[in-house]
Structure 1
Amino acid sequence: MTAFYLKLFITPALMWAISSASRRWGTQLGGLLSGLPVTSALVMLFLSLEQGSAFVARAVPGALAGLAAIQATYLFYFLVTRRVPALLGCLAGLGFYALTAWAISRLGGVALPVLITLLLVTAIVIVTARQPAPPAASGPVVLPRWVIPMRMLAATGLLLAITASAEWLGPTASGLVAPIPVIAWPLMVFAHVQGGRHELAAVVRGNAIGAVGVVGFYLMLAHGVPVWGALPSIGVAVLLAVAVTFTLARWLNRR
């Protein structure tokens, strides 16, 4: 029962903090923060508490496949919305994500999903760098008031759904849905609709950079959980993800 109340408190609090920071300091930072393994870390934390460390270790390959599918979907959305409206791009993107996640999960293992993710991140960074800046008069993207509560509810609902059905889903499927971007997807779509393609590019690029840190997060879990157990490994993995993400972002901004 204690774990249930922790889910209800921690998850929406983190979503509110990240969404508020994105609204205050811009979509580029929002993309970076939304790319961090916030939902994933919470899912893995509660899976470890309720299903055990071995379950978490077996969920990592599925999580990496899901991460690769997410980056493929962001690139797909960025490219396809050059020719179609955002709503149609969203619907097509959801179908593309489901198909891609299934296909990559069939590959099995860790190495191929990691390689696919890194190749997609490279492609996203290159493609989004070519997006021209908007006129100087353009203002910041203002999100509707209901967006942050919606993200909080979506993240909490996702966490409750995954952890409640984990025994039925199994470790692979639980891992596959753990990285679902409940923060980044709404941020990306609203940035696109209200701020145009330059704002969309900033979110997609930031999230892709964050994905490199998420790769480090899952690799740390894969190697750390059998040795240290789930809780210490998750803590170290989160710190690694943050360090990798902001180091890479700083290096790319200098270039």
Structure 2
Amino acid sequence: MLIAAKILVTFLTVILLAKVAEKMSPRHAGLLAGFPLGTAIALYFFGWQQGADFAAHSAVYTLSGLTSAVALAFGYWLVIRVRPAVHWLPVAVASGFACFFLAASLLQFLPANRWLSLLVIIAAILIFRTLLKGIAEVQIDRSLPPANALARLLAGKTATLLFRASIATASILLITGLAELLGPTRAGLLAAFPVSFFPLMLILHISYGGAVLSTTIKHYPDGIGALAVYALAVTFLYPLLGLHWGTAAALLCSVAYLLVYSQLRARFAPKSS
């Protein structure tokens, strides 16, 4: 029953958010991309299985563990910046995973302090933004035919959506299934895995090439903010409001952050000539 619930919640949430994004303006669809999909589902099922206190403790490490998510994207980029061809994808994935688990293995030694975890992810965002800022801006050219057999397979919206939903669902099943075995610290770090962004990386690499994916990775650290707000909110709200109301309130905090961030970015972004 629990496994079926995880599958249905994750699969349907991915599909629903994608369908809603299709109906929105590009600006609001971009906001929705920052929605804490995988992290929210993972922490929710931690609370369902192990209790709200377990999930709240895990969220402290999820907060700092978001550093590992950015490290995964950075490790992937280290390969595609010199070997952008699709047949190097397995090497890029291996590099990304190595960076993710290396960062997580170091972060597990941090004390369980939410403010220290917040400082860690803020520092990580600033560092990775600096490391990635030199990447050229490359837009998707949808007029080009699919470059390879995998790209042709993912050319349809339905195929792409099913691919993303399947990987996200498999990731949630693995993360939540290991929670009791790993304990709140390591489970919290694993909950930071980019459940939604990772399959998007694969789709962009396969369908549009390494240059387009590099542009997306360049802006990924900016999108971590909503996840950080969500994880921080969970550390306070799960013990205070319980699992269900705490999840709803944390999601509202994340959405509020996205709206404020969007307004500030629109106001202070440099105007193009």
Of 71, 90, 93, which aligns to 2:93?
A: 90
1:139 matched to which residue of 2?
142
Give how far 1:226 is off. Answer: 2.1
Q: Which deviates the most, 3-12 or 229-238?
A: 3-12
2:115 matched to which residue of 1?
111
Question: Aligned runs of 1:99-248 on 2, under 5 Å?
Answer: 99-109=102-112, 110-125=114-129, 130-134=134-138, 138-139=141-142, 144=154, 145=156, 146-196=159-209, 199-248=212-261
5+ long unaligned stretches in structure 1: none
Give how far 1:69 is off. Answer: 0.8
Aligned equivalents of 2:218, 2:265: Cα separation in 1:
11
TM-score normalized with structure 1 length:
0.81
Whether 1:71 and 2:73 are equivalent positions in the alignment is no
Contact 1:43 1:162 in 2 (8 A): yes
Contact 1:36 1:214 in 2 (8 A): yes
Whether 1:12 and 2:25 are equivalent positions in the alignment is no
Deviation by residue 1:83-108 (Cα, 9 ceiling, x = unmatched): 23452322211111111111112223
Return the letter of the residue paired with 2:15: W
**Residues 123 and 19 of structure 1: is their aligned pair in 2 closer, same or farther, counting only changes over 3 Å?**
farther
Contact 1:213 1:244 in 2 (8 A): yes
Return the letter of the residue paired with 1:121: I
**Residues 120 and 30 of structure 1: is their aligned pair in 2 closer, same or farther, counting only changes over 3 Å?**
farther
Return the letter of the residue paired with 1:99: L
Give how far 1:33 is off. Answer: 4.0
Output the aligned Cα RMSD: 3.2
DSSP 3-state at the match of 2:193:
coil
**Residues 108 and 46 of structure 1: is their aligned pair in 2 closer, same or farther, counting only changes over 3 Å?**
same
Identity over aligned pairs, percent: 24
Aligned equivalents of 1:103, 1:27: Cα separation in 2:
38
DSSP 3-state at the match of 2:126:
helix
Q: Which deviates the most, 17-26 or 33-42?
A: 17-26
Return the letter of the residue paired with 2:142: G
Aligned equivalents of 2:177, 2:81: Cα separation in 1:
39
- Equivalent pairs counted in the alignment come to 253
TM-score normalized with structure 2 length:
0.77
Q: Which deviates the most, 199-208 or 105-114?
A: 199-208
Aligned equivalents of 2:40, 2:132: Cα separation in 1:
27
Give how far 1:238 is off. Answer: 1.1
Contact 2:164 2:200 in 1 (8 A): no
